[in-house]
């Protein structure tokens, strides 16, 4: 059995709107004969008359009006379907699984993702905070699409882009003798007790690796930067954190930040994915957006200027 296609539905609606087969033919860029055949074929399939022919034109029959109402709804739904699906082809809809280590979560991703979501509201972002080691594992096995993580984490097989050079600083309570220092070498703080992150964090790995002849005395280990700063505030020990993250808590917790003079205290944060070629369109859009903003991030003021804003007396 023949069926009425969407082109014929559009022509029937156009005939009803114009009241004329000739006018419909001109607007649809078809011959009058072709338009007439489409209408006759549809009437034959339905076994009803859709229009009354008069000397002044055509008028829908009662059956024709019902059919045209349904045709308009079908055409609207079809156009809406194509519009929604086209968003997936252009990357304007879909979802992205995003990962970030604690440093990325506190310093960079909120602003990056907020800006991206305003520009692409149809794209859903599924965000997960993980250690850099866990991020590399989940990127590799496909559980994450893109992520920001520490360059100190082995990441063989991933495609990466440099995002920003993260800077470490010493965090201590304001008003102490250590807080009066403007800068200090890592070796000179090893006599202090430390508040640290959990053993699996990339920062903990880095700090223990940089201990050569002495070990860090870690009094307590916690999972978040916020808890690290709270324990420092309570006098449990000092800490070493990314300066951007420490800045978030310094004023409210009366903490002082001290520049670390060792060259390794400035380390890259990477934007990574398993393979750009296999990313879906929304993930590619976000990857390109974060990559493009990386150059702007690299223009941040040096840590010394940032520290002086928090602790000008130092």
Q: What is the pLDDT of residue 93?
A: 77
| Residue closest to 154 by CA, chosen among 136, 134, 129 | 136
Please give the C-alpha separations between residue 207 and each of 20, 98, 136, 255, in angstroms, as whole numbers.
Answer: 82, 27, 20, 21
Q: What is the pLDDT of residue 122?
A: 86
Cα–Cα dist 175/164, whole Å: 32
Q: What is the pLDDT of residue 48?
A: 94
- 173 burial class (0-12, 13-18, 19+ CB within 10 angstroms)? middle
**Which residues of the chain are under the pLDDT cut of 70?**
1, 83-84, 86-87, 89-91, 294-314
Q: What is the pLDDT of residue 19?
A: 93
Alpha carbon distance, N-terminus to C-terminus of the chain: 87
* 51 membership: H or E segment, kind and range: strand 51-54
| Residue closest to 245 by CA, chosen among 232, 226, 261 | 226
Q: What is the pLDDT of residue 313?
A: 41
Q: What is the pLDDT of residue 267?
A: 80
Cα–Cα dist 17/33, whole Å: 19
Domains parsed from the chain with CATH numbers: 6-90 (1.10.10.10), 94-164+267-300 (3.40.190.10), 167-265+305-310 (3.40.190.10)
DSSP code for 238? B
- What are 164's strand-pairing partners? 269
| Residue closest to 170 by CA, chosen among 206, 146, 195, 148 | 195
Cα–Cα dist 178/34, whole Å: 90
Cα–Cα dist 55/184, whole Å: 97
Q: What is the pLDDT of residue 84?
A: 67
DSSP code for 33? H
Q: What is the pLDDT of residue 153?
A: 87
Q: What is the pLDDT of residue 292?
A: 81
Q: What is the pLDDT of residue 253?
A: 95
């Amino acid at each position: 059995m023949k069926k009425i296609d969407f082109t014929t539905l559009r022509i029937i609606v156009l005939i009803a709107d114009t009241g004329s087969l000739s006018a419909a033919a001109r607007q649809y860029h078809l011959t009058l004969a072709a338009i007439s055949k489409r209408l006759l074929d549809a009437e034959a399939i339905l076994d009803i008359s859709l229009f009354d022919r008069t000397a002044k034109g055509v008028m829908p029959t009662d059956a024709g009006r019902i059919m045209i109402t349904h045709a308009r709804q079908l055409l609207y739904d079809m156009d809406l379907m194509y519009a929604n699906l086209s968003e997936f082809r252009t990357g304007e809809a879909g979802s992205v699984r995003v990962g970030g280590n604690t440093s990325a979560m506190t310093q960079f991703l909120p602003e990056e993702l907020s800006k991206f979501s305003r520009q692409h509201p149809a794209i859903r972002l599924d965000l997960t905070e993980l250690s850099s080691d866990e991020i590399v594992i989940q990127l590799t096995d496909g559980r994450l699409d893109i992520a920001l993580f520490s360059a100190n984490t082995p990441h063989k097989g991933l495609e990466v882009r440099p995002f920003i050079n993260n800077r470490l600083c010493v965090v201590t309570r304001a008003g102490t003798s250590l807080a009066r220092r403007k800068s200090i070498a890592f070796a000179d703080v090893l006599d202090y007790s430390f508040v640290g992150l959990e053993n699996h964090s990339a920062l903990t790995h880095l700090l223990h690796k940089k201990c050569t002849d002495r070990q860090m005395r870690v009094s307590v280990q916690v999972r978040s930067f916020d808890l690290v700063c709270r324990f420092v505030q309570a006098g449990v020990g000092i800490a070493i954190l990314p300066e951007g993250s420490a800045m978030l808590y310094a004023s409210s917790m009366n903490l002082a930040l001290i520049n670390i003079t060792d060259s390794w205290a400035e380390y890259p944060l990477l934007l990574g994915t398993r393979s750009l070629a296999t990313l879906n369109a929304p993930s590619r859009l976000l990857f390109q957006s974060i990559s493009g903003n990386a150059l702007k991030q690299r223009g941040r003021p040096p840590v010394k200027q940032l520290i002086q804003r928090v602790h000008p007396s130092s």
